[in-house]
Structure 1
Amino acid sequence: MEALFVLCFFGGFAVLFGGLLAAAIYFSVHAARRSGRRWAEAAQRLGLTLVGQPRRGLFTGSGPSIRQTMEGERAGLRVQVGMRIVSSGSGKNRQTHYYSYAKAFFPTSLELGLAVTPTSFLSRAWTALVGASDLQLGDARIDEPYRIAAADEAAARALLTVPYLAEALIHGAHGSFEPYVSDTELRFEMSGQCLDAGPLGGALDQAVDLARRVLAARAEIGPTGTEDLVDRAWRPIAEARGLSIDLPQTRMSGRVEGVHVEVDAQLRGQRRVTVFTARFDRWLGVGLKLTRQSSLHAVGKLFGMVDVETGDPAFDDRFVVKGQPADAVKALLTPAVREQLVLLQQQAELLEVEDDRLSAVIGWLIRDPAWIDSGLVTVARAGAALAGVAGGAGPYRR
């Protein structure tokens, strides 16, 4: 009798547990399908297209998902509406956080190293404690609700204090969707899932409006200090060598000694560096990947990590070389090529070679015209040696 009672007890418990599990799966599946349908309806109402893989699950089947983004165009700008999904913790403490956003992309980078993010009193206190950068504009209506960082602080201050842009930032600080500004995009974001076209459309309108104000203000403030420097130092070289120069993007390009070369004053985080690039007319076709040798990779070799070696210690100790087949890679790395690459690496903070290009990074903005000209010639000769390009090569093909 006791055995029958125990059997019934555990049988009932198993049925109860199975029922609860089935109910949890049912409600989870129902919620996923319902949120996917609402997301698709919002995209349709906003005139946007769902992009990305639709939902495909064992229990949910296929259909639209909040993990897809809505994409399209507004006022000449590429726009996107999406859901940022962030998981934290593990096991029983694992949590999933949802952030709904609407963003507009700038046609080209602002090249200011700009980051405007909403903040709070505690965040400001922490920023002050650790000494993190927070550019102050002198207007508490902007300085208090936002943290501002920029590589070019003078240009960022001039930009963000243009009245019609400052007005929109002040207004944006008080909505459920808050603005984030970077060099490449403008995003309005709120915590939680927003599946309705009304508020999503409102956030998208705000993003497009503020993005257009940013672009107008950027044009209004004129050239930055970096653009002025590039104009003074690089333009004489461009004119002498017949190269084209793009001041807003701080880039110069054209052919030097038969090779398509570029020099670019790039932002890497909050630091501006000078990048010389030689682009090959034809891919090398061996999957080449050449980078600077590091102490970590040297240790890895002791544990069996393999790269292509030429038998030249002066070269092999400096570079990690990958590619297939190994014999074809070695054939490319002739003594003349190795000599050029070693010479270039001695002058660069970072040197990388791939199947379609060679890039050398100098860790600061070069202001000396003679150094810029010398760098162009050096990278062109290294590229020519590697790709076997003769003088008078045909036009560069992307």
Structure 2
Amino acid sequence: MTDHVKPAVRWGIGHALPRAMLHMAARRGDLQGRLTVEATTGADLTGLFDEIRSHGPLAATTVGHTTARHAFVKEILSDDAFVTARPRFGPGMLGRLATWSATDLTHPVQPPSMLVTEPPAHTRYRKLVTRVFTARAVEQLRDRTQQIADELLDGLDPANPIEAIDAYCGLLPVTVISEILGVPQQERATVLAFGGAAAPSLDMGLSWRVFRDVESALITFDAWLSRHFEALRAEPGDNLLSRLIAAREDGVGLTERELKSTAGLVLAAGFETTVNLIGNGIALLTRHPEQLEILRERPELWGNAVDEILRVDPPVLMTGRMCTRDTTIAGTTVLRGQLVTTVLAGANRDPEVFENPAAFDVTRPNARDHVSFGAGRHYCLGAQLARMEGEIGLRTIFTRFPGLRPLSGARRRPTRILRGFERLPVALGG
């Protein structure tokens, strides 16, 4: 009986209650509530970003503050007074229920995930995987990434429309990250399915159905990781997971839970946001053919175009930080325990940093100043890899199929944190 009740309690405390509170707040005009609710609709949020900025450096909300100003997003993400943690319940009834119903299931927003740990643990985990994602290491993957993109496109018939997310945008990054991590080819469909099913796990306010699907996906993936680790222990290879299993610092290696959390996060983060980057890029470039024409005339701009895509339609909409001590930001006091939501997509439209910020311009000189990869100690570990895959993935498909055009039926994901397309039908021919 308890096995059935605990998930319902977890959902009620972690999702149903916050969802009801945020919807009520949205109806009252609260900026955090409106942002959370409107993000699921796929609507253009530019007007809301402008409204948040109009309230000053930090706009007050029901749960704390939010900001869409570039300078203060960077400041908060870099300040050690703010940590990556979800709201905690006190010693009252909700706190006791949260403790009673807690699960030891590996989850991307529960410790020991790098997303929600802080130094010294975060430093230790990050050190173990950083060398795989350095600029030099990523550059060594460039030829192989190009080969994968070519092979995927070789299998497409230009006379037949495709659903770009399933046929290309997802397969390219999952193949690359799987090779980095030593995932056998026959297992890559499992990784891809896990990414899609677990993507909503970053959100609060999930429906009961989505919550159950997410937990089921996490349970299945946890079991798969156990089997995969056993295989790698029996036959280690030249890949990141084999090195993580063998890694020792002062004679101490990662525990099984730390291994699973680190591996699962790198696997999912290594391709899930890149799927969004490539899909969002295809959508933007087909809506702005004049920008695509510039890239055909000046192919050296493809790298800059990727940063402009990241600025205009970032794969991650926002990220939250919990204040650990009373502190002051831009003259505003933020109390211990308050949540500050940094709106990455809003900071990318800050007119104080970007001239004519609503325009999509692949020649923009400071496109790389976006904050789509975050800032500070939690700056995205795979930023270089994502840029490289985005550049190759987009340049190659538009070079191979110059007549590529969008078809009806495109649909955005209903997720709040991750921003991308669930479906993106395109015609490859002219």
Q: Please, what TM-score do these two structures have when normalized by structure 2?
A: 0.24
Hey, which of these two has a bigger chunk of strand by percent? Answer: 1
Q: Select the structure that is richer in helix.
A: 2
Higher RCO (Cα < 8 Å, 6 or more apart): 2
Bigger Cα Rg: 1
